Amino acid sequence: MHDIVIRGGTIIDGTGKASFRGDVAIAGGRIAAVGGKQGPARRDIDAEGLLVTPGWVDVHTHYDGQAMWDPLLAPSCWHGVTTVMFGNCGVGFAPVKKEHRGALMDLMEGVEEIPNPVLAAGLSWEWETFPQFMDQLERRPRAIDICAQAAHLPTRVYVMGDRAVRREPATADDIAEMRRLTVEALQCGAFGFTTSRTDSHKTPDGELVASRDADDHELLGIGSALGVTGTGAFGMNSDFDDEEFELRWMRKLAKDTGRPIWFLLTDRYEDPQRWRRLIGAVHEMRAQGLPVTAQMAGRPIGVMMGIGTALNPFTVRPSYKKLESLPIEEQRRRLRDPAVRAQILAEKPSDAEVAKLAQFRQAVTRKWERFYVMGNPPDYEPGPEKSVANIAAATRRPPDEVAYDTIIEDGQYLYFPVVNYVTGDHAPIYEMLNDPACLLGLSDGGAHCTSIVDSGVPTFMLTHWSRDRARGPKLPVEMLVKRQTSETADFFGLSDRGRLAPGLRADVNLIDYERLQVQKPELVHDMPAQGRRFVQKVDGYKATLVAGTPIFERGEHTGALPGKLVRDGQIGARLAAE
C-alpha cells in the first residue's frame, strides 16, 4: 500500500529523456516506483492530461532574510520550486557581531533592494556565528527546502570591521581568519561560498561593497577552505573589468581545490561580445579538466517601472519626486490630473541629477528605445514595435509622454531589460541554454523587491521556451525540465532530488501544461513593517509535493509544512552519524 499514487500522467523525469505515460508511486516521503500501473494507495491523484515533473531546484535566490519570517517563501513556492539556495552574490547575515547588524542590512538593501526596515522588523538576530544561523534556520517550520551558502561580505565585516567597509586590503591574519570561518560554515552544511566584485553592488550611500576590490590573495586564501573540507562551490558576480585577472585566479582556485567554480554570465550593451569571450574561456578551462561553470539567466534581467516601483523615468523630475511618498493609489490619482501631468512632462532631468545615478539608472531616464510596454500576460521578448521610442514615433508623440501615460494606467508597467537583451531578442540566451558549460540560475527570488520579480522564471522556462516563443526557435520541454531539476541539483551535490526515480525524495509537480501561465507582476504590502514588493502569480500547477506531502493544490496552500534546512550531503551524513 503506497501513500500516494499519481496516476496516468505524462512523466518528465528530469533526466532529459523523452516523456512517457504512467504512474508515480510515493511511500515514506520518497518515490517508490515510476512508470507502468502501480498498486493501491491511501490516496490517488488523477494526473490524466498533466505533466508530472520533479520539483524545481532554484540555486540562485536571496531568501536569506525571508526564510526567517516566511514559512512559504512565496512567490517561489507558487511556481513549483521545492528547493531554494540563498547566500548568493556575497551577501548574507552570518557571521555577525551585534554592532555590525545594521551594516549587513544596509548591504542587503544596497545589493539586493530588500528594504532595511523590512529586515529590521523581520530578523530576530538570535545568532552570531554561521553554525548558529543554520541552527535558527533549521528550527523554523517551512513548506519547501532551503540551502545556504557562506558569503564574503558578512565574513569580511565580521573579521575586519570598519576596515572591510573602507575596502582596505586584508592582511594575512585577516585572510586566515576568514578562511577559518569559511571552513566552519562548510563543516556545518553550507553549500559553498560566494562573493561580489561588481560596481552595480553598492551600499545605500553609493559606496562599493566591501568585497569589490579583494585581491587574489584574499580570494584564493578564503577559497582554499573548499579544498580543506572537500565540499562546496565558489560563486562570483563580477564586472570582469580585468578579465585576465579574474580568469587567472579562478583557474588557480579550481586547480588547487578541485571544487566547482561558477560566475554569473550576462551580456552587456557596452560590450556585446563579452559573454562570448567568457564562455570561450570556460570551455578552455573545462577542456583542461577544471570544474568551472557559467551561471546564466533564462530571460533578460530587467527592471519594471511604474508607480510605486524603485525607479521610473520620472524619478529625477522635481514635481514627480514630491508625490513619491504618497500611497500608490493617491499618487495615481494625482498623476492623472492634467495640470500635474503637464508640469512633470515640462520638466527635463538635469545633467547634474542624472550624473548622480548609477550607469544603468542614467539610461532609465533617457534610453526610450530600451523601454517596452510590458502587457498582460507579460512579454519578456518584446519586439521593437513595443518600445516606447517606436510607439512615440508611430503616434507622433514625445516618448516621455508615452511612458507617462502607460504607467498611470492601473497595474501597468514599463519593462527595461538591463542585461541579456543586447540583440533585442533572446538569441544569446538560446545559445547559453544549449551550452553544457552553463548552469540555469539567477531567478533572484526574494530580492529587488520593487523593481524585479524573476522568481517565476521556472514557470517561464516551460511556457516561453517550449510553448509560446514566437521570435526564434523553441526548446524541448524535457531539456528545460532537466535544466532546473537534475542539473541544478547535481551541481551542488543534492543527490537525493532532481529526478523522478525510486529512492529519491518525492518532490513533484503536477502541471496543466496548456493552462500554465505567469501572470502580470503586482505590488503588494505583505512583508514585515508593511514592506512593499512585487509578486507574480501563476495558473496551471495542479499540485506541488515536497517529500511526498502536497503543499499546494490548485494554487492554494494545503497548510502542510514538510520543508527543512538541507545541509551539504556529505556534512549532513556525518552529522547524522554523530
Sequence letter at residue 213: D
Q: Note whether 2-54+509-577 and 56-302+435-448 share their fold.
A: no
Q: Is the preceding omega at residue 349 within 30 degrees of 0, hence cis? A: no
CB-based contact 480:16 (threshold 8 Å): no
Closest Cα to residue 374, out of 409, 341, 400? 409
Measured distance CA(373)–CA(440) in Å, rounded: 27
- The fold of the 2-54+509-577 domain, in CATH, is Urease, subunit C; domain 1 (2.30.40)
Q: What SS3 state is found at 563?
A: coil
CB-based contact 401:345 (threshold 8 Å): yes
Measured distance CA(371)–CA(112) in Å, rounded: 22
Q: What is the pLDDT of residues 184-203, one digit of tens each?
A: 999 999 999 999 999 889 88
pLDDT at 77: 98
User: DSSP H helical segments within 415-496, as ranges?
Assistant: 427-433, 457-462, 477-483, 486-491
Radius of gyration of the chain (CA): 24
Sign of the dihedral through C-alpha 397, 400, 401, 403 = positive
Sign of the dihedral through C-alpha 544, 549, 553, 555 = negative
Measured distance CA(486)–CA(494) in Å, rounded: 9
Q: Is 540 left (phi over 0), alpha (psi -120 to 50) or beta?
A: left
Count of positions (residues) in the chain: 578
pLDDT at 365: 67
Q: What is the pLDDT of residues 137-161, one digit of tens each?
A: 999 999 999 999 999 999 999 999 9
Query: Where do the domains of the chain lie?
Result: 2-54+509-577, 56-302+435-448, 304-419
Residues forming beta bridges with residue 172, ordered by sequence position: none
Measured distance CA(291)–CA(491) in Å, rounded: 10
Q: What SS3 state is found at 120?
A: helix
pLDDT at 355: 62
Q: What stretches in the chain show pLDDT beneath 70?
A: 350-363, 365, 569-578
pLDDT at 572: 44
Architecture of domain 56-302+435-448: Alpha-Beta Barrel (3.20)
pLDDT at 134: 98
C-alpha cell recorded at residue 456: 517565476
Q: What is the pLDDT of residues 244-285, one digit of tens each?
A: 999 999 999 999 999 999 999 999 899 999 999 999 999 999
